[in-house]
Chain A
Amino acid sequence: MSEPANPPAGRGVIHDIGYQPFTGRRQSTGAVAWSLYVLSLRHCFGLGRSGKSKVMPWLVAGLLLVPALVLAGLLLQLNKMSLSSQADLFAPLANYFGFPYWTQLLITIFAAAQAPVLFARDLRYRTVVLYFARPLSRSAYVVVRLAALATALFAVVAVPLTIWYAAAMSVDVDHGEHTRNYLAAIAGVAILALLLSTFSGMVSAITTRSGLAVTAVIVALMLTSGIVTSVQGAAYDSGNRTVSFIGALFSPFTVVAEFVSGAFHQPTPSDSMPHPGGGWTVGFGIALLCWVLGSAYVLLHRTRKAASL
């Protein structure tokens, strides 16, 4: 900025300094969306926020690394084990998509803690009104926030998976099988991240109070998951596959797990989950779309409505 235009002497008012209008080039809406995306992603990990808000995301991300590091360690030690131990470990060590299923509590906590940061605060403080008075459209604002949360969720799961996969690539195992399973798992994690971010975003936007939103997301995800698991357990005992499939539709984790095992010919993460055939795979695909689009619609509607000036 150039020198302010001659402030009158003797007037000691701090804000009485010449004003300079901005004459540079304004950025495109795309650039604005990008900077909101980057900022939102940073906020998911507590960057640029208080020290306290960094604890939860990094703790969860760190805890998610532990099982992956253990599996990677097992892979590196594999050729030192007896053949029978190796045989026992081959299948679990290649079951990449089992990882997000077995760590769903941690993933849920991450989604529950970070979704309110992106979706509840702006509504609660009504800051969202200031965003809507700016170039970014209301839908673009919601989509950018969702993309940031989905990216963060994807990253905290995909990074451990990739470390595990890298360990597998460095030892003498069936590289083709591992690569296939890894890629299927990465696709599954991407779908899961999208589903969890829209769902937890929707719950946050409805509750708007951060503490309440955290609890609501955890309860909603864990309760459905728990019910679905017990339904599937009972169905497994009675050998009723249809009940098991129907149950799986009602939890994000099982619906994604069934879809991935059906679409990519992967083993299901748990014995009690039956492997879907072609018809059910399509059904789970449609259910996924309903979960994502339904949540996104409610989230968008709620955000637009709460922001009426």
Chain B
Amino acid sequence: MGVAATQGLTVQYPRVRALDDLTLSVPDGITGVIGVNGAGKSTLIKVLLGLLQPTSGTVQVLGMDPATQGAQVRALLGYMPDHDVLPGDVSAADFVMHMAMMSGLPRNAARERTSDVLRHVGLAEERHRPMGGYSTGMKQRAKLAQAIVHSPHLVLLDEPTNGLDPRARDDMLELIGRIGHDFGISVMVTSHLLGELERTVDHVIVIDAGRLLRAERTQDLTHTTGNVLVEVLGPPGSDRRIGQALLDRGVTAWPVGDRIEVRVERPETLDLIRDLVADEGLGLVRLQEVHHSLEEVFAQGGGPHG
């Protein structure tokens, strides 16, 4: 039994069916919920928070039903929205402490934990400045701090890396990893980018148009496409020549732009590619494993595992 589960969950808005017979289970640890915008990620979060009554189906969060035990569920949940929510004229220290008290922490505990949590997310002396002057990265840290300050059992992070530069994104992902693995707080994190989360999350749930496409352990989803991408340096048409040469030797290959994607059935295929490129006198620029992309997972429409 995981931290959250849905059974046949359907949410019908007046014109849109946001979630359609969705059955999934969020296990302990870090779970990534992947889907394009409008796939139903935010609706799922609203239902888990008990703020939206499902049209049909059942929901369990931390062993409770959020529709009837909303307050008890929300006391043990943390939530970080994807949009800006921080008042500009309040300091992070004051704000996070207030939010801790709004989650039911006594004043002294709220003060202590605010100080601890702000240190954990890496907000140092700037915690006493008004948040209006924060960079995007600092705002995301403050938002994260208010989501975990009350020591929730499950924290819902909605697109936490949105708008961050690559370095801040890596920091945020590392922080999420520590929350899930070191702090012992289960994490459900949404993103529209699978690749971004694959190093951090233990489990991946892919939803599209309110339906479940896949739910798997991360390794199972990303480790084998069995294809490599080959890019060569040479006169125009070199890629075609290599592709043709591979086909002639019974290897499955097809062009992807000006590169070639090659199906690697046996390890020797890699040697063959290297030798062919060398024989043609071309430069081998890239020989890269191809991971499943989100688009491919969608294209499979649920695939054999879905």
Binding site for B on A (CB under 8 A): 1, 13-15, 17, 19-22, 24, 26-29, 31-32, 35-36, 39, 48, 50, 121-122, 125-127, 129-138, 309
Contacts and interface: CB of A to CB of B under 8 A. Distances in A.
A126 B75 contact: no
B134 to A, nearest CB: 13
B83 interface: yes
Given A22-B109, A22-B151, A24-B109, A125 B102 contact: no
29 contacts: A14-B119, A17-B116, A17-B120, A19-B116, A19-B120, A21-B183, A22-B113, A22-B151, A24-B105, A24-B106, A26-B103, A26-B105, A29-B71, A29-B104, A32-B104, A35-B107, A39-B98, A50-B89, A121-B87, A125-B87, A125-B88, A130-B102, A131-B102, A133-B81, A134-B74, A135-B71, A135-B74, A135-B104, A309-B51
Output the residue of B51, B94, B113, B158 with the most chain A CB within 10 A. Answer: B51
Output the residue of A39, A132, A134 with the most chain B CB within 10 A. Answer: A134
Contacts of A129: 79, 81, 85
> Which label, helix, strand, loop or mixed, suits the secondary structure of the A interface?
loop
A130 B79 CA distance: 7
B83 A126 contact: yes
B182 to A, nearest CB: 6
Given A134-B99, A309-B51, A20 B85 contact: no
Contacts of A13: 122
A27 B49 contact: no
Contacts of A20: 116
Contacts of B158: 309
A137 B94 CA distance: 22
Contacts of B84: 125-126
B146 A130 contact: yes
B124 A133 contact: no
Can you list the 8 inter-chain pairs with the closest CB atoms, starting with the nearest?
A: A22-B151, A133-B79, A26-B104, A135-B71, A15-B122, A19-B183, A27-B104, A125-B87
Contacts of A50: 89
Interface string B90-134: 000010001101111111010011001001111010000000000
B214 to A, nearest CB: 25
Contact of A127 (B51, B86, B116, B151): B86
Contacts of B27: none
A226 B264 CA distance: 84
Interface string B137-170: 0000000001000110000001000000000000
B187 to A, nearest CB: 13
A121 B74 CA distance: 23
Contacts of A131: 102
B302 interface: no
A17 B77 CA distance: 23
Contact of B42 (A27, A28, A127, A309): A309
A32 B102 contact: yes
A13 B119 CA distance: 10
Given A14-B124, A21-B151, A134-B99, A28 B49 contact: no
